[in-house]
Amino acid sequence: MTTVDSSVFIKRPSFSALDALQGSGLLANLFLQELEVLELLASRPHPNIVQYYGCQVCRGRIVGLTLEQHPYTLQECLRNGYDLDLVSGQDEIKSAVAHLHSLGLAHNDIRPNNIMVSVERRWILIDMGACKPFGQDLITSGNPDWTTSSKQNDEVALCDLQIMLHHKI
């Protein structure tokens, strides 16, 4: 993960998992799947889903995904006591998830670390690494019990988020 300037973030493959996945091609496939989701979302944008600008290529290989940069995760904002409109923020994330669902996709990893807060205090859903069409097998997700991509995964995660935020009010 690299920052190019204050408005752009470069997401790179996670090489911390490389040893376990070495030779399987799984890491490359996961990165390619995220790229495909981001390409779809670039053609069907939503104001509360991270904006994708394109990918970086080196020697014919994709080495990074260029995304809009935001200053804080929701988790950081909550931990540091930032003044947030929790009701509006939840509505924004619900709207982002409804948009994904309208495209036949489930995010499968909704949690405070995957929600950014913009300078304008808008909530932005990020990390499309587990985002897949409904019914597809999951390799990674926000819950180890989830093995298939589904709307229900997102509904459970949204409910968990609402409960967590309710305790912050």
pLDDT (0 to 100) of residue 169: 53
- Give the C-alpha separation, 37 to 40, whole Å: 5
Tell me the residue range of the domain where 65 lies. 2-166
142 neighbors 118 (Cβ within 8 angstroms):
no
Task: Check residues 129 and 63 and name the one with the higher pLDDT.
Answer: 129
- The CATH number given to whatever domain includes residue 65 is 1.10.510.10
Query: How many domains is the chain built from?
Result: 1
Q: What are the pLDDT digits (tens) for 128-137?
A: 999 999 999 9
More confident site: 15 or 166: 166
> 30-45: per-residue pLDDT in tens?
888 999 999 999 999 9
**Mean pLDDT of the chain, nearest integer:** 89
Q: What pLDDT score does 157 carry?
A: 97
Handedness of CA 57, 37, 85, 161 (dihedral sign): negative
Which residues, other chains included, contact 40 with Cβ-Cβ below 8 Å and sequence gap of 6+?
Answer: 103, 105
